[in-house]
């Protein structure tokens, strides 16, 4: 399941509680489009803001609507004890894989990070994707450390940050040298996904794919087929969305605004302290959506 398009849907809220109807609408859009896998409770799914009970419910709802689409579930938390509880919940609810970031409060030593992955992977009965997201976690994982962690039998993939186009191939090759065969690399940071996939990443862990699965699937397909003209055409369509990601503090608030504009969820669907984008930004997002209809 760690190839192709892994789509990360929002977990939309209504009055700060899970909006199950809206969540199901999003899930149905993804399974209908035929994404290769679902990434439930990723950063876009607001995992870090939801209680254990909320997260358990989200996974249950997702499983009930995933059909035959494999489902990866984010299980990040600051305390290892909480991560272990979330692993158990996710597995009991039918997760096909786990997405495991290293969150931190106190800065961590490399040996603490390794011991964390070792302990959690020992409790996992499904494959684990190492989630490297220094922008949100402020934890930096060296290539050597990623290699050590990837050697744990449970690790099947690594979700890496977006890659700047000029260095993408070198970066992927450098990291790959530390990894055992069979561990796939997946690029996130949607703005730079094309560079990552062209550099040899096997999967796109995609925020864009969580709301716009068809154009995202088309992009993955065009890159796989080496269809440069189609890749360029699709990226031209997506460019206004990428610009909104850059302009409005990342992808999350923009995708939440886009989902609301499309009538799929409440305009105020993000967990506090996050606020919805303002009117002017929403107009920009709406304009970006014209090209994606």
In sequence order, which residues have a C-beta less than 8 Å from that of residue 17 and are 6 or more positions away?
Answer: none
Any contact of residue 49 with a copy of itself (CB under 8 A)? yes
Confirm whether residue 44 is marked as ligand binding. Answer: yes
In sequence order, which residues have a C-beta less than 8 Å from that of residue 190 and are 6 or more positions away?
Answer: 162, 206, 207, 208, 242, 245, 251
Any contact of residue 181 with a copy of itself (CB under 8 A)? no
In the complex with a copy of itself, the residue whose CB is nearer, 23 or 116, is 116
Chain positions 117 to 136 lying near a copy of itself, rule: CB under 8 A, are 119, 135-136
List the one residue from 34, 249, 267, 291 that touches a copy of itself (CB under 8 A).
249
Any contact of residue 15 with a copy of itself (CB under 8 A)? no
Any contact of residue 50 with a copy of itself (CB under 8 A)? yes
SS (H, E, C) 191-219: HHHHHHHHCCCCEEEECHHHCCHHHHHHH
Annotation says 159 is catalytic: yes
Can you name the residues that pair with 7 across neighbouring β-strands?
38, 206
Any contact of residue 109 with a copy of itself (CB under 8 A)? yes
User: 164: which 2 tokens?
Assistant: 């700047």
* Per-residue contact flags (x/-) with a copy of itself for residues 65 to 104, judged by CB under 8 A: -------------xxxxx-------------------xxx
Can you name the residues that pair with 71 across neighbouring β-strands?
38
Annotation says 131 is catalytic: yes
51, with CB counted inside 10 A (0-12, 13-18, 19+), is exposed
List the one residue from 51, 177, 263, 279 that touches a copy of itself (CB under 8 A).
51
Catalytic residue among 47, 117, 131, 248: 131
């Amino acid at each position: 399941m760690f190839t192709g398009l892994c789509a990360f849907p929002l977990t939309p809220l209504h009055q700060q509680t899970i909006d199950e109807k809206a969540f199901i609408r999003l899930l149905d859009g993804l399974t209908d489009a035929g994404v290769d896998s679902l990434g439930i409770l990723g950063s876009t799914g607001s995992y870090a803001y939801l209680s254990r009970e909320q997260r358990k419910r989200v996974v249950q709802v997702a499983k009930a609507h995933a059909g035959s689409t494999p489902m990866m579930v984010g299980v990040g938390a600051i305390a290892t004890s909480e991560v272990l509880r979330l692993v158990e919940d996710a597995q009991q609810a039918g997760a096909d894989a786990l997405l495991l970031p290293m969150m931190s409060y106190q800065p961590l030593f490399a040996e603490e990070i390794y011991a964390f992955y070792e302990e959690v992977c020992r409790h996992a009965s499904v494959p684990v994707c190492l989630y490297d997201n220094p922008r949100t976690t402020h934890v930096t994982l060296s290539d050597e450390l990623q290699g050590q962690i990837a050697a744990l039998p449970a690790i099947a993939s690594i979700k890496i940050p977006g890659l700047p186009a000029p260095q993408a191939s070198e970066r992927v090759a450098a990291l790959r040298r530390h990894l055992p065969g069979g561990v796939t690399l997946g690029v996130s940071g949607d703005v730079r996904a094309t560079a990552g996939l062209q550099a040899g990443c096997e999967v796109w862990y995609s925020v864009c794919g969580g709301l716009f699965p068809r154009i995202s699937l088309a992009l993955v397909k065009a890159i796989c087929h080496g269809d440069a003209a189609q890749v360029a055409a699709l990226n031209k369509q997506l460019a206004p969305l990428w610009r909104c990601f850059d302009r409005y503090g990342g992808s999350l608030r923009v995708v939440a605004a886009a989902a609301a504009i499309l009538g799929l969820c409440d305009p105020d669907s993000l967990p506090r302290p996050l606020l919805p984008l303002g009117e002017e930004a929403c107009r920009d997002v709406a304009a970006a959506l014209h090209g994606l209809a």
